[in-house]
Every structure is written in C-alpha cells, then in structure tokens.
Amino acid sequence: MKKVMFLLVAMLLSFSVSAATLTLGLNGSNNADQEIDFATGTLVGGSGKTDGGTWYSDFTLTTDEDTQAVVEFSFNPESAVSTALLSITNRVTGIATEWLGAGDLIVSYFFETGVAYGIDFYSVTSTQLKYDVSVSAVPVPAALFLFAPALLGFFGLRRKAAVAA
C-alpha cells in the first residue's frame, strides 16, 4: 500500500494543471482599427472597428508551452458580416489552416512553443461593426487528478475479490 501511495503522490506532482501563457501582438490591418485589450496570460484578446467594405485584421500569437487553445472572433452586430475567412498561420513553416464563415467563428487549434502564429481575419465583407478576438488556453482537465484515485479504487476492488476467493 505504501508503494501505491508513493506512486499516487508522484503522479499528482508530475502533472501541471496550469495553462500555457499566451502573448498576443498586433500585425496590422486594412480598413479597420486594431488594438490589444489584454496581451499576456491564459486569455488574451484584441478588438477593433471598421466602417465597412472589405477589410482584414491580423494578430500575432506566441505561447510558452505547447497548448490547445480556443480562438474566437465575434462581431457586433454579427449580422453585419457577409463573408469572412479566418486563417491561423504558422509563420515558421508558412502553413495555414483556414475557416470560412458569415458571422462569429470559434475554432480550437494546437499551438507549439517558440513558434509565432498569425491569427488573421481577412477578406471580410461587412457593414460598420466592432469586432473582438480572444484566445484562451485550455488547461489540463481536473479529471486527470480524479483518474489516479479511481485507478486505485479498481485495484482495491480487484484485491478484495482476490482475497474473498
């Protein structure tokens, strides 16, 4: 039992539940204002506004740990956007992943440490609106800490069944 408890404590201490630290920067825009609302943390965000027409807004994102993150673009009013493309580009390899939308977009993406990513909303055709972008790191779920006690419970049941037989 002491070995099992030691293993449990070692497992709990070997996992980190904190999410990665993200850093968001400006990379330019056309026909749209652009600003950073909160630049560093597990949640980063930017915003801007446009008087309409065709425009784009490009942000740079880096992270201190490999992490899954949720990228969300939202518009006020949402109905003002006719067409738009969201692109997340690895600026080292130049490989881009794109999503087409006609309103708010929410995507999940895996970001690697030490790589600058471009988060670019472009070829947007809209009327006057305000837009927001937020990126939030997805922390390791708390269920990870529930896995070890459940596993120990199964071992206990197995041992109890073996002793009863």
CATH code at position 60: 2.60.120.380
Non-local (6+) Cβ contacts of 34 within 8 A are 26, 28, 46, 47, 48, 57, 59
Does 140 score more than 90 pLDDT?
no
Does 95 score more than 70 pLDDT?
yes
10 part of a folded domain? no
146 part of a folded domain? no
Work out the pLDDT band at 107, boundaries 50, 70, 90.
Answer: very high
Number of domains in the chain: 1
101 part of a folded domain? yes
157 part of a folded domain? no
Quote the pLDDT of residue 17. 56
Residue that wins the pLDDT comparison between 135 and 10: 135
Model's pTM, two decimal places? 0.74
Tokens for 139, please give them.
């922390």
Quote the pLDDT of residue 101. 82
Alpha carbons 128 and 94: distance in angstroms, whole number: 31
Work out the pLDDT band at 19, boundaries 50, 70, 90.
Answer: confident
Question: Domain limits at 121?
Answer: 24-140
